[in-house]
Amino acid sequence: MAAQSEGSAEEIKGLRRCINDLVSMLALPAAWMGGEPLRIMGNLLDALLSMLSLDFLYVRLKNTADAATGEMVRISPTWAVKPGPQEMGERLRTSVDDDFQESPLLLSNFFVEGDITLVPLRLGLHDDLGIIIAGSRRSDFPQQTERLLLNVAANEAAVWLREASLLSEERRVSSELDRRVAQRTADLAAINDELQREIAERKSAEEKFLREETELKRSQAHKAAILDSSLDCIVAMDHQGCITEFNPAAERVFGYKRENVLGKPLAHVLIPPSLRQQHHLGFAHHLATGESRVLGKRLEMTALCADGREIPVEIAIARIQQDGPPSFTGYLRDITARKQNEDALLEAHTRLAQSEERWRSVFESSAIGVALADLEGRFIATNPVFQKMLGYTEQEFEQLHFLDITVEEDRDLNSALVADLLDGKRREFEIEKQYRRKNGSLVSVRNSVSVVSGSDRVPRFLLALSEDVTRRHLAEAALDKARSELAHVARVTALSALTASIAHEVNQPLSGIVTNASTCLRMLDADPPNVEGARETARRTIRDGNRASDVITRLRALFGKKSTPFELFDLNEAAQEVIALSVSELQRNRVTLQSNLATDLPSVLGDRIQVQQVILNLIRNGLDAMSTVEDRQRELLVMTERDEGGGARLSVTDSGVGIDPQIEEKLFEPFHTTKGDGMGIGLSVSRSIMESHQGRLWAARNEGPGATFSFVLPSSTNT
Amino acid sequence: MDKLVVVVVDDDESVRESLPDLLKEFGFAVLTFSSAEEFLASGSTARTSCLVLDIAMPGMNGLDLQKELKGRGDKIPIIFITGKRDESIRKRVLEQGAVDILFKPFSDTALRQALHKAMGSD
């Protein structure tokens, strides 16, 4: 029994170790709670490898999600090789049957030299959890305690694997549940959202519906209001052409009552008979084809009124397409007034055009130059006369400033006057100035310049009416020259007449002197000398000499005075001198002269000789007027008197032929004469002389025969 | 033998006074008239050898008288005397047949030559 006891002690020792290991093993699951299957198995394999003297431990778990992690291996530190779980698993599957029919199984040279005993430990009741394979090269493997430990460990592992599996499943289920709940929650949320949206949409739709209904109501009210209050006539008809609406404006314009025309064919109500056929054809064509020449356009047509009048209307027709057949609404407007306005406007336009044309024609054909310039002075428009006057074309003028063509010396004045115009200091001005023509020659003009106030469309501009006064200046110069020549001629003529008269006056006594002296000499030379005759002739010679002396004295009185152009003199005295010089001529013409000179005559200021020439002219004129008078006394009255105006008046009244009414107006014109031998300048020159004295010369018919020529000179105190 | 009769017609009295004395000194008988009308009315034309005639006179002037005489066929030589020196008058009267025209004042010699011309020889 010693051996038995020795063996028993060893056995007890082994058993004790086994119990310790079992306790350790059984203590393991405390760490496995809630653990992962692979962690549990890893933990178990580590414990078994250290408890038992094993070469390796291999585990393969089933029903794990990851096959790669379903295998696990623990290798003894004594091995030189360290095969991985998959390599180990592969070698095991090729070396042994899956179900380990033989157990324990002996394998040779399994990764290491020598024989190795494999013990499978099935996990789970039906191996459904996997398998643990333990291998050892010990020959006594597996001992009873090792088998026990391995089985306990396998059972324990299976419990906990199942536990872990259950836990895992529970977790999976829980997670799935969570996922499903989350999914469901999300679905519910989505559904909820959708519901909310639908609710919102429905609400919106309801609101829209409500709004549309309101809108519709409002629209209908609006439409009614429009229909009622529209200034336009609104007439609607259905597809059959019958009137369905006829608003108050239409009633007013066309004179129909709404209730009388509703349902009636429009064509018979509003369309004049002459247009009905066309309407029917057009309407039928439209209904058949949809084409229309009137829809959507603004047309002018003629409409028939209740009283038979046809009026012009503007019409726009809209087609209203609803579910059923189309209807049509026409908007009509009575455009009679507008037509009239248009006609009036057209007429006004025509009148304006005519007026424009007239003014243009005035502008174009004006006899004087017309130029328009802007306020800067640049030409805007010029008329043909102005263009011709200056030699520039209208286009050339548009490039010119008025100062460009104004001669240097006139520019300053002209600019100043224009500035006054623009400043409003003057309304217009007149200027005589010279323009330089395009060809360089000068032209004298008289310009009337004004500012034409503008309008909305036309800004203010300068208007110049320009008259070419070159000719007038030349004519005036020529006239002055002619007058001066005339005056000269008149003077010479008057002088020569005077000279002839004087010569006659002087020659008569001179002739007497010569004759008497000759006779005297002859008488004294006779044998015996006729002393008595000589004495008589000598006496007559002295008498004639005195006569000649008187003539000279009178001439001296007439010409001898210093010829100051203007002097104070007595008109009576001047007249008497002229009368004295005219005596012989008066006698020869058998004219009796009467003089009636005022004593209160004021002295006058002037050219005495010129005034005497006038008096002489008037006396001669009177003589001439009476040269053919035989049936009555040839009388000449020279009269002076104080004029009502205080001046001195002299009149020469003859009893001659008087003034022919036909020539009355021409009396004072130069070269007008009724005399065969006259030059016709006497009265003209006389009048010029009087005018140069601020006096006046005129002619008047007498109550009896003849005429009276008078002049008046202002009193010296008046001048 | 009777003296030749020279007729002086002039409206100027001084001429009518002075000229006849001179003509008488020349040896003519002299008749004076103050106007042409007076001369024509006197009936002296037939015995007039020479007419000394003023041109400018009131009424019928010297030229009118010349024309009148010529119209009657009377060929009395006429010497015109005038105070107005006018060559156109000279030409005109000479064309009408006058012997000469003397412008006042004229010398006795000029008158004497004219009278000689009028009556051929003295």
Both tokens assigned to A183: 């999914």
pLDDT of residue A66: 45
User: Is CATH 1.10.287 the classification given to domain A469-560?
Assistant: yes
Q: Of B104, B106, B109, B112, which to mutate for an interface test with A (greatest number of A Cβ within 10 Å)?
A: B104
Looking at residue B78, its pLDDT comes to: 95
What's residue A653's pLDDT? 94
Asked if the Cβ–Cβ distance from A507 to B105 is below 8 Å, we say: yes
DSSP H or E run through B108? helix B108-118
Say how far apart CA A282 and CA A292 lie, in whole Å: 7
Residues of A within 8 A of B30 (CB-CB) are none
pLDDT of res. A571: 93
Cβ–Cβ gap A518/B56 under 8 Å = no
> Do the Cβ atoms of A677 and A564 come closer than 8 Å?
no
| Domain span at B22 | 5-107
A418: how many CB neighbours lie within 10 A of its CB? 23
Q: Percent of chain A having pLDDT more than 70?
A: 77
Distance of residue A445 Cα from the nearest chain B Cα, in angstroms: 51
From the CB of residue B7, how many other CB atoms can be counted at a distance below 10 Å?
24
Q: Flag if A588 and B83 touch (Cβ within 8 Å).
A: no
Q: What pLDDT sits at residue B35?
A: 92
Is residue A647 a contact partner of residue A714, using CB atoms and an 8 Å limit?
yes
Orientation of helix A470-525 relative to helix A531-555, angle to 10°? 160
Q: A230-334 architecture in CATH?
A: 2-Layer Sandwich (3.30)
Q: Which of A612, A556, A610, A623 is nearest to A584 (CA)?
A: A623
- ipTM of the complex in this document: 0.82
Q: Is A481 helix (H, G, I), strand (E, B) or coil?
A: helix
Q: Which CATH number goes with the domain that contains B100?
A: 3.40.50.2300
- From residue A162, give the alpha-carbon distance in Å to each of A23, A69, A127, A148, A211: 21, 17, 12, 20, 68
Residue A677 has pLDDT above 50, yes or no: no
Answer whether residue B84 is part of any domain.
Answer: yes
pLDDT for position B122: 44
User: Does position A158 have pLDDT exceeding 90, yes or no?
Assistant: no
What band does B48 get if pLDDT is binned at 50, 70 and 90? very high
What confidence score (pLDDT) does residue B31 get?
Answer: 94
CATH number for the domain whose boundaries are A366-465: 3.30.450.20
* Alpha-carbon distance A616 to nearest alpha carbon in chain B (angstroms): 19
User: Given a cut of 80, is residue A682 above it in pLDDT?
Assistant: no
How many domains does chain B fold into?
1
Residues of B with CB under 8 A from a CB of A: 11-12, 14-15, 17-19, 21-22, 25, 56-59, 81, 83-85, 103-108
pLDDT of A490 > 80? The answer is: no
* Per-residue model confidence (pLDDT) at position A165: 64
What pairing do the DSSP bridges indicate for beta strands A130-136 and A56-61?
antiparallel
Model confidence pLDDT, tens digit, residues A436-460: 999 999 888 888 898 888 777 778 8
DSSP string for residues in A118-151: EEEEEESTTS-SEEEEEEE--TTPSPHHHHHHHH
Chain A residues with beta carbon closer than 8 angstroms to that of B81: 511
Put simply, the answer to whether A523 touches B12 (Cβ < 8 Å) is no
Which CATH code, of 3.30.450.40, 3.40.190.10, 3.40.50.10320, 3.10.25.10, is assigned to A2-178?
Answer: 3.30.450.40
Contacts of B18 in chain A (CB under 8 A): 511-512, 515-516, 519, 537, 540, 544
**Residue A73's beta-bridge partner residues?**
A58
Residue B82 lies in a domain: yes
Q: A511 and B106: CB-CB below 8 Å?
A: yes
Residue A357 has phi, psi (to 5 degrees) of: -65, -45
Decide which of A224 and B74 is more confident.
B74
Model confidence pLDDT, tens digit, residues A645-659: 889 999 999 998 888
pLDDT at A468: 85
Q: Measure the CA–CA gap between A337 and A525, rounded to whole angstroms.
A: 129
pLDDT for the residue A200: 73
Give residue-wise pLDDT tens across range A128-148: 778 888 888 888 888 777 777
Asked which of A6-10, A27-31, A471-475 is least confident by mean pLDDT, the reply is A27-31
Summarised one tens digit per residue, pLDDT across range B11-46 is 888 889 889 999 999 999 999 999 999 999 998 888
Better pLDDT: A140 or B71 = B71
pLDDT of A670 over the 60 cut = no
Instruction: pLDDT band for A404, please (50, 70, 90 cuts).
Output: very high
Q: Is the pLDDT of residue A152 over 80?
A: no
pLDDT of residue B53: 94
Question: What pLDDT is attached to residue A356?
Answer: 77
Q: Say yes or no: A547 contacts chain B, CB-CB below 8 A.
A: yes
Question: What pairing do the DSSP bridges indicate for beta strands A707-713 and A696-701?
Answer: antiparallel
Nearest alpha-carbon partner for B25 in A541, A513, A523, A512: A523
Q: With a cut of 60, say whether residue A389 has pLDDT above it.
A: yes
- For residue A562, the model assigns a pLDDT of 44
- Three-state SS string over A530-589 comes to CHHHHHHHHHHHHHHHHHHHHHHHHHHHHHHCCCCCCEEECHHHHHHHHHHHHHHHHHHC
Least confident piece of the model among A4-13, A184-193, A671-680: A671-680
Q: What is the pLDDT of residue A497?
A: 62
What single DSSP character describes residue A438?
Answer: T
Give the sign of the dihedral formed by CA A194, CA A199, CA A204, CA A209: positive
Query: Given its phi and psi angles, is residue B57 left (phi above 0), alpha (psi -120 to 50 degrees) or beta?
Result: beta
Given a cut of 90, is residue B105 above it in pLDDT? no
* Mean pLDDT score, A191-202: 70
Amino acid at A421: L
Residue ranges per structural domain of chain A:
2-178, 230-334, 366-465, 469-560, 561-719
Q: Are β-strands B5-9 and A442-452 bridged in parallel, bridged antiparallel, or unpaired?
A: unpaired
Predicted local confidence at residue A319, as pLDDT? 82
Distance separating alpha carbons of residues A312 and A339, to the nearest angstrom: 8
Confidence label for A177 from pLDDT (cuts 50, 70 and 90): low
Identify the CATH number of the domain defined by range A561-719: 3.30.565.10
Name which of A582, A649, A570 is nearest A608 in CA terms: A570
Average pLDDT, chain A: 79
Residue pair A593/A636 in contact (Cβ under 8 Å)? The answer is: yes
Among A6-20, A333-347, A599-613, which is the least confidently predicted range?
A6-20
**CA of B76 vs chain A CAs: smallest distance (Å):** 23
Query: How many CA within 13 A on the CB side of residue B11?
Result: 20
Specify whether the CB–CB gap between A121 and A134 falls below 8 A.
yes
Of the pLDDT bands very low, low, confident and very high (cuts 50, 70, 90), residue A1 is very low
Give the C-alpha separation, A448 to A705, whole Å.
51
pLDDT at A481: 64
A165: CB partners within 8 A, 6+ apart = A37, A63, A129
Spatial distance between the Cα atoms of B55 and B35, rounded to a whole number of angstroms? 10
Which residue matches tokens 């360290």?
A82
Q: Encode pLDDT of A409-436 as tens digits.
A: 889 889 988 998 888 888 888 888 899 9
